[in-house]
Amino acid sequence: MNSSKRRIVSIVSELICNSLDAGATDISVSINRNSEKFEITVKDNGSGMDEKTLKEVKRILNQPLKEVYEEYYSALAGNTYTDSGLNIVGFQVDKAEVESSPNKGTTIKVSRNL
């Protein structure tokens, strides 16, 4: 599997784990990619986030891209024993948008230029 495909699988895996941890029973995943970029959207009906948590998640997901770490962290995706959380995703994307409210679910959209 090439690095672009592995990165997409890593990100989707982590976002789905997050949805499941939030008690989601309905999760939809959309992936759009071309030769220039990919975009992943994960929408769930989980418990959602309060304002404080939402602000922290946005900060984590929009941290500067760290290519030095991304290969290491991508291998940890979906492994709940690593305590790596959304940092895995934040290390691997250029942009993230998050919408969430308590008891109404969450939508996370991430993208990366290739």
Q: How far apart are CA 28 and CA 12, in angstroms?
A: 11
CA nearest 87: which of 65, 54, 108, 107? 65
Judge whether residue 92 has pLDDT over 90: no
- Residue range 20-40, pLDDT digits in tens: 999 999 999 999 999 999 999
Q: Please, are residues 37 and 113 in contact by the beta-carbon 8 Å criterion?
A: yes
Percent of the chain with pLDDT over 90: 61
Domain ranges of the chain: 3-113
The model's pTM: 0.84
CATH number corresponding to 3-113: 3.30.565.10
